Amino acid sequence: MGLKEECGVFGIFDIDEAAVLTTLGLHSLQHRGQEGAGIVSYDGSSFHFVKKEGLVGDNFNNASTLNQLPGRRAIGHVRYSTTGDSKLANVQPLFANLSAGGFACAHNGNLTNTHALRNALVETGSIFQTTSDTEIILQLVARSKKHKTVDKIKDALSQIKGAYSLIIMTNKKLIGVKDPFGIRPLVLGKKNNAYVLASETCALDIIGAHYIRDVKNGEMVIITESGVESIIIAPSNQARPCIFERIYFARPDSIIDGKSVYTYRKNLGEQLAIENPIDADVVVPVPDSGAPAAIGYSQKSGIPFELGIIRNHYVGRTFIEPSQSIRQFGVKLKHSVNQSSIKNNRVILIDDSIVRGTTANKVVKMVFEAGAKEVHFGISSPPITHPDFYGIDTPQYSELIAANHDIDEITNIIGATSVFFLSLNGTYKAMGYTTRDPNTPQFTDHCFTGDYPIDVTNILKHTHS
Ligand code: AMP
């Protein structure tokens, strides 16, 4: 089974063809989840929704679907299940008719206290229709004794713990919220007079919207016909956005904190070259994830950058998974070696991360088979020693290669000449900091350190990690 990724969210308030713009926004966020997509629109009197399994472009890019989503307001979601099964019922946005009217909610992130909350809700009569943790938010909003929707949401959020960037649509409002640590991203933008909320700025670019600012940690932005209002819903603490967004998840052309993700990744590669100078002939990225860091490594070290591995972009899950006879060709379906830049060379392969070690294992073998004299494997982030519980859902401890093996063992397992990782401080340097603040780190970097800003003991109890 492949790794599970996160989700992407998008919302737009008051513009013609809101569902078309949402489709485009979701398409640009497709890298955040490919399992399913959904859009809820509001036409001034009714809510409409369409949910599909599969890709946005395959499912929403046609008049008959878009005609089912009339109105000037819409929110959408792309999903790669983090909790819950990946069936259609779990595809978001989730929608409920509450006492005050329709309520649609799209969630990126993962809650950490769901077991207790879900049990308490079920015991007191709640009926759940999905296995998604997001439905708990809906149930808590529905049952809140507060009168105003915003207060109901605040009430619900005060009971949940974990990572959440939410976009909510009611018959009057479009609302964006980030959890108190701001773990997952959420940005505010504007297209003409219409406000837009999205996981990443690439979703603003595609519809010609301009970026206004990031939603802050613990902030709720409320968009109505009279404009935007901001309220703080959580006690203030320093934001700790997930460092992995910059290392792997976000699209390279998205802007975070004023810089492109591409720049951060190039910096990571440069820093890797500073920390690990290697005598070699070519620097080769593991496509596509390793490309920006490999460019950085190459530019810093002066070793030429070559495309030594070519990726076939048309390998979908449907091709790989069903047939054992096809599956056994494994990585060759996805990657092939460009012998002309590999043969007789000392090669430095660069990727952004090693999780289970599967990719590294396969590409190192392929590159040796193509005649490389040496294959050094450089990773532009520290070893992943701890699982994520905030929406990425990396595998459990037992499957994380770096949680169970030191660098020498990893080198042996993947069969490389050498393996080298970027240091934790080097990672912070690449992000523009002189060092990691040991008291309150500027990011959540739990995958590398085990420093979880939100308690995860409850989750650990309920997983076999
Ligand atoms: P693995 O093959 O299990 O070691 O995974 C490492 C590869 O997966 C690298 O090429 C990464 O770019 C990529 N990767 C890292 N994190 C994730 C994730 N959460 N979901 C999908 N791919 C990932």
Query: What local confidence, expressed as pLDDT, does residue 460 receive?
Result: 73
Query: How many angstroms is it from 354 CA to the middle of ligand 1?
Result: 6
Ligand 1 closest atom vs CA 401: 4
> From the CB of 286, is ligand 1 less than 6 Å away?
yes
Reference 77, options 6, 170, 130; nearest CA is 6
The answer to whether residues 296 and 268 touch, using CB atoms and an 8 Å cutoff, is yes
Same domain, 391 and 304: yes
Same domain, 161 and 274: no
CA atoms lying within 13 Å on the CB side of residue 451: 16
Query: What local confidence, expressed as pLDDT, does residue 89 receive?
Result: 85
Q: Confirm whether 64 is domain-assigned.
A: yes
Integer CA distances (angstroms), 15 to 83, 93, 203, 432, in order: 33, 20, 16, 38
The answer to whether residues 451 and 249 touch, using CB atoms and an 8 Å cutoff, is no
Query: How many angstroms is it from 392 CA to the middle of ligand 1?
Result: 11
End-to-end CA distance of the chain: give it in Å, rounded. 16
pLDDT in tens, the chain (465 residues): 334 447 999 999 999 999 999 999 999 999 999 889 999 999 999 999 999 999 999 999 999 999 999 999 999 999 986 556 657 888 999 999 998 899 999 999 999 998 889 999 999 999 998 888 899 999 999 999 999 999 999 999 999 999 999 999 999 999 999 999 999 999 999 999 999 999 999 999 999 999 999 999 999 999 999 999 999 998 888 999 999 999 999 999 999 988 999 999 999 999 999 999 999 999 999 999 999 999 999 999 999 999 999 988 877 654 445 455 665 566 577 889 999 999 999 999 999 999 999 899 999 999 999 999 999 999 999 999 999 988 886 778 999 999 999 999 999 999 999 999 999 999 999 999 999 999 999 999 999 999 999 988 877 776 543
Helix ranges, 165-307 (H): 202-206, 243-244, 261-275, 291-301
Tell me how far apart the alpha carbons of residues 448 and 243 are, in angstroms, rounded to a whole number: 10
**Which residue has its alpha carbon closest to ligand 1 atom 22?**
3
**Which residue has its alpha carbon closest to ligand 1 atom 23?**
3
Strand blocks (E) in 14-93? 36-42, 47-53, 73-79
> From the CB of 359, is ligand 1 less than 6 Å away?
yes
Ligand 1 closest atom vs CA 358: 2
What is the CATH number for 377? Answer: 3.40.50.2020
Ligand 1 closest atom vs CA 2: 21
Same domain, 127 and 269: no
Same domain, 146 and 198: yes
What is the CATH number for 94? Answer: 3.60.20.10
The answer to whether residues 347 and 403 touch, using CB atoms and an 8 Å cutoff, is no
Residues 6 or more apart in contact with residue 378 via CB below 8 angstroms: 272, 276, 278, 297, 348, 349, 350, 351, 419, 420, 421
Q: Confirm whether 288 is domain-assigned.
A: yes
Strand blocks (E) in 339-462? 346-351, 374-379, 418-421
CA atoms lying within 13 Å on the CB side of residue 14: 15
Tell me how far apart the alpha carbons of residues 90 and 409 are, in angstroms, rounded to a whole number: 40
Structure tokens at 196: 């837009």
Q: Give SS3 for 444.
A: strand
> From the CB of 205, is ligand 1 less than 6 Å away?
no
Query: How many angstroms is it from 352 CA to the middle of ligand 1?
Result: 8
> From the CB of 354, is ligand 1 less than 6 Å away?
yes
Residues 6 or more apart in contact with residue 103 via CB below 8 angstroms: 95, 96, 97, 138, 141, 142, 149, 168, 169, 170
Identify which of 32, 81, 351, 359 to mutate to test ligand 1's pocket (most ligand atoms within 8 A of the CB). Answer: 359
Ligand 1 closest atom vs CA 393: 19
Strand blocks (E) in 140-181? 165-170, 174-178
Same domain, 292 and 196: no
Q: Confirm whether 255 is domain-assigned.
A: no
Q: Confirm whether 41 is domain-assigned.
A: yes
Structure tokens at 137: 């938010």
Q: Confirm whether 134 is domain-assigned.
A: yes
Peptide bond just before 93 cis, omega within 30 deg: yes
Reference 188, options 197, 176, 179; nearest CA is 197
Same domain, 201 and 285: no
> From the CB of 358, is ligand 1 less than 6 Å away?
yes
Please give the residue range of the domain that contains residue 381. 263-463
Task: Give pTM, 2 decimals.
Answer: 0.94
Structure tokens at 258: 């004023």
Last residue of a domain, one of 185, 207, 239: 239
> From the CB of 353, is ligand 1 less than 6 Å away?
yes
Question: Residue for token digits 């792309």?
Answer: 78
Residues 6 or more apart in contact with residue 310 via CB below 8 angstroms: 287, 335, 336, 337, 338
Same domain, 145 and 13: yes
The answer to whether residues 381 and 448 touch, using CB atoms and an 8 Å cutoff, is yes
Query: How many angstroms is it from 297 CA to the middle of ligand 1?
Result: 20
Same domain, 235 and 267: no
Q: Confirm whether 414 is domain-assigned.
A: yes
Same domain, 202 and 317: no
Query: How many angstroms is it from 401 CA to the middle of ligand 1?
Result: 12
Angle, nearest 10°, between helix axes 358-369 and 407-414? 50
**Which residue has its alpha carbon closest to ligand 1 atom 14?**
353
Task: For residue 139, give the amino acid letter.
Answer: Q
Same domain, 350 and 453: yes
> From the CB of 413, is ligand 1 less than 6 Å away?
no
Q: What angle do CA 355, 356, 360 make, to 5 degrees?
A: 85
Burial label, 216 (beta-carbon count in 10 A; 0-12, 13-18, 19+): middle
| Residues taking part in catalysis | 7
Q: DSSP 3-state helix, strand, coil percentages of the chain (rounded to 5)?
A: 30, 25, 45
H or E segment to which residue 12 belongs = strand 8-13
Strands 165-170 and 174-178 turn out to be antiparallel
Query: What local confidence, expressed as pLDDT, does residue 421 receive?
Result: 98
DSSP structural state of residue 111: B
Question: What is the length of the chain?
Answer: 465
**Which residue has its alpha carbon closest to ligand 1 atom 9?**
353
**Which residue has its alpha carbon closest to ligand 1 atom 15?**
353
Same domain, 331 and 269: yes
> From the CB of 34, is ligand 1 less than 6 Å away?
no
H or E segment to which residue 156 belongs = helix 149-157
Same domain, 302 and 418: yes
**Which residue has its alpha carbon closest to ligand 1 atom 21?**
3
Query: How many angstroms is it from 2 CA to the middle of ligand 1?
Result: 9
**Which residue has its alpha carbon closest to ligand 1 atom 12?**
289
Domain count, the chain: 2
Query: How many angstroms is it from 42 CA to the middle of ligand 1?
Result: 37
Query: What local confidence, expressed as pLDDT, does residue 1 receive?
Result: 34
Query: What local confidence, expressed as pLDDT, does residue 463 receive?
Result: 58
